[in-house]
Amino acid sequence: MFVNIVKYIFELVKTAAVMLLIAFIIQTFLIQTYIIDGISMEPNFHTGEYIIIDKISYKFSPPKRGEVVVFDPLESPDSYIKRIIGLPGESVKIASRAVFINDRKLDEPYLAGLTETLTASQTFDGKSYTLRDNEYFVLGDNRPNSKDSRSFGAIKISQIKGRALLVFFPFRNFHII
C-alpha cells in the first residue's frame, strides 16, 4: 500500500513538472497574456481586458502596418500596447488631424466611429519623421489620450514583445484581432 502511494505521488509530481515545463516554454517563446491598462487604445481595447500576444511570428516576418503590438518603451518599466502606423524607411507626418505616410493620407478603418483622432496640440507641428531601419512609428487608437511615438519617438523591432492576437476576457469582449 505504501509503495502505491509513493508511486501515485511520484506520478503527480512528474505530471506537474511536465505541465510547468510546457507552460514555461509556451509563455517564453510562443504566446503570452497581458492585461490592458489605460484608455489609449479605446474604443478597440479597454482597461481590464486580457489579450494574448504572439511572440514568435516577428522572428519570421516583419510587423505590418495596422497590427497591434505590445512593446517595452525605453522610458518605462511597463509594457505598452499601440498600433503600428509607420514602417522602416517611411516618412510619417501628422497634419490636419490625419496621418500621412510618404505624403499619402493613411486610411485607418480601425478608427471608424471616432469623432476626434488628433488634436491640434498633437499634430507634430506638421513635421515629418523619417524612420530608420528596424524602426516603427506607433500610435494609440485614442489619439488625444495616448502616449506614443509622438512623444517618445519610434520604437525598434527589438523592443516589440509580440503581436496582439485576441481578446479573451471578459468573455463578452472576446474577439480575434
Residue 138 has pLDDT above 90, yes or no: yes
Residue 121 has pLDDT above 70, yes or no: no
The reported pTM is 0.82
Clarify whether 79 is annotated catalytic: no
Clarify whether 40 is annotated catalytic: yes
* Residue that has been written with the C-alpha cell 463578452 in this structure: 172
Cβ contacts of residue 121 below 8 Å, gap of 6+?
A: none
**Mean pLDDT across the chain, nearest whole number?**
86
Amino acid at site 91: S
Average pLDDT over residues 135-156: 91
Q: Which of 55, 59, 82, 158 is catalytic?
A: 82
Residue, of 105 and 25, whose pLDDT is higher: 105
Cell representation of residue 166? 485576441
Would you call 20 helix, strand, or coil by DSSP? helix
Q: Which CATH class is domain 2-168?
A: mainly beta
What is the percent of the chain where pLDDT is above 90?
Answer: 41
Q: Specify the range with the lowest mean pLDDT, choosing from 21-30, 37-46, 102-111, 159-168.
A: 21-30
Q: Which of 7, 14, 40, 64 is catalytic?
A: 40
Whether the CB-CB separation of 111 and 68 falls below 8 Å is answered with: no
Residue, of 174 and 40, whose pLDDT is higher: 40
Range of 63-67, 76-80, 125-129, 172-176 with top mean pLDDT: 63-67
